[in-house]
Amino acid sequence: MSELIGNCLVAQSGGPTAVINASVAGVVSEALNHECIEEIYGGLNGVLGILKEELIDLAEESQQNIRGLRYTPASALGTCRFKLRRDEDYARALEVFEKHNIRYFFYAGGNDSQDTANKISKLAQSRGYEMRAIGIPKTIDNDLVVTDHCPGYGSVIKSICATVREMALDHEAMGQHDLVSVLEVMGRNAGWIAAGASLAKGNKENPDLAPHLIYLPEVPFTTEKYLEDVRRVLSRNRHCLVVVGEGLVDPDGNYLSTSGAATDAFGHAQLGGCGEFLQRIAEENLGIKARSAKLGIGQRAAAHCSSQTDNDEAFLAGEAAVRAAVAGETDKMVTLIRGDGDQYTCETGLAPLEDIANGVKMLPQEWINEDGVSMNYQFFKYASPLIKGEVEVPYEHGLPQFVQLSKNRVPKELGDHQFE
């Protein structure tokens, strides 16, 4: 195979994480090692920035800034939730690639993002433009198919577990009886994040340790069982700490947290409100004090409480994407493959983008205990290694110091794109 010489472009899409920038650092660090990659560009705000021809020169960033991406949360390049719907949009993206001689495209995102990368690449092939597209997995939801787990997941559940432990101690200190506290977490249609809160128990299947109850989208919710669960916990403990996934559904498959709510550009329901719902029915039916909290974006941005394992694997995924593309691979996403030994190990692999796009990996039913509100040893074995290690974040004047890229713009060569 002849060497493909040209520029590379890396962009980020979807919800940010505590480690997505580590993948960008991995891309830049590895791209600098290959002479066939002449320029290293970043796309501002994902595919939306590509359509607007808003590119920055990452090779001009200081090494200190690139290293600093390892501990900086959110999306340093900016992100978007924009769906390419028209042929004109795909054609424009390819036009930008051609004008800037972009031959290597790395897109960090979830399933919708991998679908976008796949379609752009397929259009390039149909028009005879040689380029290589490699997806980099990213989602706190941990719901991408094929890969064992996703960068971003280990850090979000580590942060949530720390919050659960702190809340539990707070409740114990108050000395109140019959207190119910509900913590709503992200995760969309899959319960990986809510399940991860169980690690706050310290790998112990102890019903008396918080979180006492976990409600997952994989287990249909009924008010009757919820009230029974709460009564059972309060018969043994002074307080009941509940974790609920935002995508909780009733036996008919309807979201409990939406009622004609809006959808995003990809048609996904904008979820939220489960925590308040569970708080209200506990108060109304049990005559007890209840409260609810929604972590919101704080759970995915908590770099100060992120996982070193997660961070290392995010960086590794970025490096692997570049190596794969230079070796001739395209239309693939980097996957994380868990080793078979007792000691946790992880290496990278590749899977076709079309196998990833728009798929959803649900939490295995066999990892959920029969009570439907707790996890068993199989989940603990799976998730525990992913939260290990602490990322060293520099502090100044008592606060974490994060990196802001200089974002030197690449001159535009095309006219403005016409959006709908």
| 173 φ, ψ (degrees, to nearest 5) | -65, -30
Range scoring the smallest mean pLDDT among 24-38, 86-100, 290-304, 399-413: 290-304
d(CA 134, CA 350): 9
Mean pLDDT over each residue of the chain, to the nearest integer: 93
Express each pLDDT in 290-321 by its tens digit: 999 998 888 999 999 999 999 999 999 999 99
At 405 the pLDDT is 98
Residues 216, 221, 227, 232, CA torsion sign: negative
Neighbour-count burial of 238, counting CB atoms closer than 10 A to its CB (0-12 exposed, 13-18 middle, 19+ buried): middle
At 173 the pLDDT is 87
Express each pLDDT in 34-79 by its tens digit: 999 999 999 999 999 999 999 999 999 999 999 999 999 999 999 9
Residues 209, 196, 26, 77, CA torsion sign: negative
Which of helix, strand or coil describes residue 181? strand
Task: Tell whether the model's pLDDT for residue 163 goes beyond 90.
Answer: yes
C-beta of residue 328 within 8 angstroms of C-beta of residue 416 = no
At 266 the pLDDT is 45
Express each pLDDT in 328-354 by its tens digit: 999 999 999 999 988 999 999 999 999
C-beta of residue 11 within 8 angstroms of C-beta of residue 58 = no
Express each pLDDT in 351-392 by its tens digit: 999 999 878 999 999 999 999 999 999 999 999 999 999 999
At 271 the pLDDT is 55
At 256 the pLDDT is 86
d(CA 328, CA 132): 7
At 264 the pLDDT is 43
Instruction: Calculate the CA 153 to chain-centre distance.
Output: 6
Structure-block tokens of residue 77 = 């390049």
Express each pLDDT in 109-138 by its tens digit: 998 899 999 999 999 999 999 999 999 999
Q: What is the mean pLDDT of residues 158-162?
A: 97
Residues near 238 by Cβ (< 8 Å), separated by ≥ 6? Answer: 171, 172, 175, 176, 177, 178, 179
Instruction: Calculate the CA 315 to chain-centre distance.
Output: 14
At 258 the pLDDT is 53
Q: Which of 141, 143, 229, 312 is catalytic?
A: 141
Express each pLDDT in 251-286 by its tens digit: 999 988 654 455 444 445 545 689 999 999 999 999
At 1 the pLDDT is 62
At 269 the pLDDT is 52
Task: Tell whether the model's pLDDT for residue 152 goes beyond 60.
Answer: yes
Q: How many CB atoms lie within 10 A of CB 381?
A: 13
Structure-block tokens of residue 308 = 């070193």
The reply to whether 141 belongs to the active site is yes
d(CA 362, CA 239): 30
d(CA 18, CA 154): 10
Express each pLDDT in 211-239 by its tens digit: 999 999 999 999 999 999 999 999 999 89
Going from the C-alpha of 174 to that of each of 162, 170, 219, 280, 312, the distances in angstroms are 19, 6, 32, 21, 39
